[in-house]
Amino acid sequence: MKNTAERIRLLPKYLFAEIDKKVKKAQQKGIDVIKLGIGDPDSPTPDYIIRRMQEEVANPANHTYPPDEGVQSFKEAVADYYRRRHGVELDPESEVMPLIGSKEGIAHISFCFTDPGDVNLVPDPGYPVYGIGTLFAGGEAYEMPLLEENGFLPDLKSIPAETARRAKLLFLNYPNNPTGAVATPDFFEAVAAFARQNDLLVCHDAAYSEIAFDDYRPPSFLETAGGKDVCIEFGSLSKTFNMTGWRIGYAVGKAAAVEALYRFKTNIDSGLFKAVQHAGLEAFTNPQMEPFLKELREKYQRRRDIVVQALQEAGWPLQAPRATFYVWAPVPRGFFTSEEFVSHLLEETGLVVTPGRGFGRHGEGYFRIALTVDEERLKEAMERLQGAVEYR
């Protein structure tokens, strides 16, 4: 066999591989490890969705290839949800496309728009897929630093005019992973104006749109005036309904972008299992949706409060995030890198958190705690942390 393609060789080392090795070592030494690293919900998918799936799996009509453009009733359910939740009208035919998880669409959108030599604007720190998709398509990622002093929003004015003019895509993600930051409607308006000015497509990753606290409800980018003319928004059922393993999400917004994604996907995959699309429809249309989400938000909010309070007591200058199930905190002084701090924490306390560097250069100096373990374990984790480190 000859060597692998450059796109495989150029891939950065998998962020969690090194940590996984250290975790295994710690566990072999008999340390009780508490994993606050990966953001994968710890609770099951709600029963009402599982029951629908069980029925749909048994229906032979669902055993054939799904329609390329997606199951119409699922697309209608997504459009309905956008009308209810965001006051945004979507045409299910041309402005909604089911995805095999939103990551799939986020990775593929670069193949639809980015030619070799083109630039995509990518937030740093950020979900690695924006940059990797860009790289795979042969494009170049221009990093937009997300700095604390700017509320972890990119500073559009700092992007060189020439770069902005060349850019094809601008990736955004609010509520934000890893920083927990949220965006205001004003910021979205400024982004829309910037996109019109530079004729680029905004790719908004809205994976955490329903994970928000204290009565805060994150806006869709499509609520912005003219938003649908400049934006494709990626939604996911993964975090909203504890469905990470089911692989279902969707893209909505600018019809020409949805159409490009559709054309790309028809040539690569054959869509999502029809039963999963029917289960997804149930997720959004069943009257149990809202009570379920209320409980989900309350659960993460209680966990958030445990972690934020403990960190504040230990000296961290920290505000409670208004959304996502992450707490993004600065590394105390005395550690050279976020990775060094994370290793120290694991060795001293058995806690696994994610080094900020894993999300990009500007993640250095921070670490991320995922609120995906129950309250009792989280309290235990915070006691251990308080016993071992303080913020200086």
- Could you list the residues that contact ligand PLP (CB under 6 A)? 39, 101-103, 127, 173, 177, 205, 207, 236, 238-239, 244, 249
Nearer to ligand PLP, 102 or 338 (CB): 102
R_g (Cα) of the chain, nearest Å? 21
Tokens of residue 213, six digits: 């606290």
Minimum distance from CB of 205 to ligand PLP (Å)?
Answer: 5
In the sheet where 326-330 sits, what is the strand order?
Answer: 326-330, 366-370, 354-355
Nearer to ligand PLP, 164 or 307 (CB): 307
Minimum distance from CB of 141 to ligand PLP (Å)?
Answer: 16
Nearer to ligand PLP, 208 or 292 (CB): 208
Picking from 61, 87, 381, the residue whose alpha carbon sits closest to that of residue 228 is 87
Nearer to ligand PLP, 39 or 180 (CB): 39
**Helix 274-285 / helix 72-86 crossing angle, nearest 10 deg:** 30
Ranges of H-type helices in the chain: 6-9, 15-28, 47-57, 72-86, 92-95, 102-113, 129-136, 161-166, 185-198, 227-230, 255-266, 274-285, 289-313, 338-349, 375-388
Q: How far apart are CA 22 and CA 40, in angstroms?
A: 20
Q: Give the C-alpha distances (Å, rounded to integers) separating 33 from 253, 325, 332.
A: 43, 20, 21
Minimum distance from CB of 284 to ligand PLP (Å)?
Answer: 15
Q: Which three-class secondary structure state does DSSP give residue 305?
A: helix
Cis preceding-peptide flag for 175 (omega within 30 of 0):
yes
Nearer to ligand PLP, 245 or 334 (CB): 245
Minimum distance from CB of 102 to ligand PLP (Å)?
Answer: 4
Nearer to ligand PLP, 323 or 331 (CB): 323
Q: Which three-class secondary structure state does DSSP give residue 172?
A: strand
- Residue, CB closest to ligand PLP: 101
Minimum distance from CB of 70 to ligand PLP (Å)?
Answer: 15
